[in-house]
Amino acid sequence: MRLEGKVCAITGAASGIGRATALRFAAEGAAVGLLDVDEEGSAETAGMAESAGGKVFVSSCDVTDEASVVASLSGVVERFGKLDVVHANAGIELFAPLTMTGVEEWDEVFAVNVKGVFLTIRAALEHLMDGGGSVIATASIAGLAGAQFQPAYGASKAAVVNLVKNVALDYAASGVRANAIAPGIADTPLLEKVFGARPEGEMREFMEGIHPDGRMAVAEDVANAALWLASDESSHVNGTVLVVDGGLAAGPQFPLEKLLG
């Protein structure tokens, strides 16, 4: 198993990418700390992991609150004796152009997506620097280039990318690696929250069609990337961004068959 003997903590573990990552890590032999404000969702994730033989620890965690983050990560260490991997995954989306983005909305996005990642990584480093380990943050391709109607979200994810690079530089000598994953459009509960429902019909056809490989990502695609970054297979990978988007960020995808008749 690729994570046998490792202890991993994941924020936003109650659903979507966080849940898929927790299940993937547990299946590969890791003991997993599930951190989320959604206690019911975390309990469901824990039940799924335990039914597959995984070892889990559940903690209610508000990533925007320093004391909550410190207590949750300390709980993981107290339960399992150490920390090898942290996946700062919790995040929220805001779909609105800048003139329709309120100050409170902007602040909320940055509180969760940037402050939350900062607090999570900073608290985890206190444990990781003892024996080294892997820091993983969920960014987005919206943080690598402009994205329509996503100024707050894109700016927050760009901050995550830069934060990870700085952590990689500052703590490599302590045996800590830090990398980010940049998903494209992922078919997860977060997407449902943005649109109010799961995209179907013409909307889904459009969203899938702009990807060169013809589909949106699923949570498991990102979880597989996180597994590699958490494992020793990526031991010489540090300060980078792993894009998981089916080629979406490579360039625009045009329906040439229609344009060329």
Per residue of the chain (261 residues), give pLDDT as tens. Answer: 999 999 999 999 999 999 999 999 999 999 999 999 999 999 999 999 999 899 999 999 999 999 999 999 999 999 999 999 999 999 999 999 999 999 999 999 999 999 999 999 999 999 999 899 999 999 999 999 988 999 999 999 999 999 999 999 999 999 999 999 999 988 888 777 766 667 788 878 888 888 889 888 999 999 999 999 999 999 999 999 999 999 999 986 776 666 565
Domain boundaries, the chain: 7-249
For residue 90, list its beta bridge partners.
none
Specify the pLDDT at position 259.
59
List of residues 6+ apart from 254 with CB closer than 8 A: none
Catalytic residue among 80, 118, 153, 171: 153
Answer yes or no: are the C-beta atoms of 2 and 27 closer than 8 Å.
no
Per the structure block, which two tokens stand in for 74? Answer: 């300390």
Q: First-to-last CA distance in the chain?
A: 51
Cα distance between residue 215 and residue 167, in whole Å: 33
Give the torsion through C-alpha atoms of 24, 217, 94, 12, to 10 deg: 0
The whole-angstrom separation of Cα 248 and Cα 9 is 29
Which is it for the CA torsion 15, 16, 18, 23, positive or negative?
positive
Whether the full predicted model's pTM is greater than 0.75, yes or no, is yes
CATH classification code of 7-249: 3.40.50.720
**What residue has token string 């949106």?**
216
Answer yes or no: 171 catalytic: no
pLDDT at 158: 98
Tokens 């934060």 belong to which residue? 163
CB atoms within 10 A of CB 51: 8
Dist CA 234 CA 22 (whole Å): 19
pLDDT given at position 26: 98
* DSSP state letters, 136-182: EEE--GGGTS--TT-HHHHHHHHHHHHHHHHHHHHHGGGTEEEEEEE
Residues 9 and 212 sit within 8 Å (Cβ to Cβ): no
> What is the model's pLDDT at position 257?
66
Residue 36 has a pLDDT of 98
Instruction: Mention every residue, 6+ apart, whose C-beta is less than 8 A from residue 6.
Output: 29, 30, 31, 84, 85, 230
User: For residues 247 and 212, what is the distance between their CA atoms, to the nearest angstrom?
Assistant: 6
DSSP run (H or E) holding 221: helix 219-230
Which residue type occupies 74? S
Hey, what long-range contacts does 38-45 have (CB within 8 A, 24 or more apart)?
38/14, 39/14, 40/14, 41/14, 41/15, 42/13, 42/14, 44/14, 44/19, 45/13, 45/14, 45/15, 45/18, 45/19
pLDDT at residue 35 in the model: 98
- pLDDT the model gives residue 82: 98
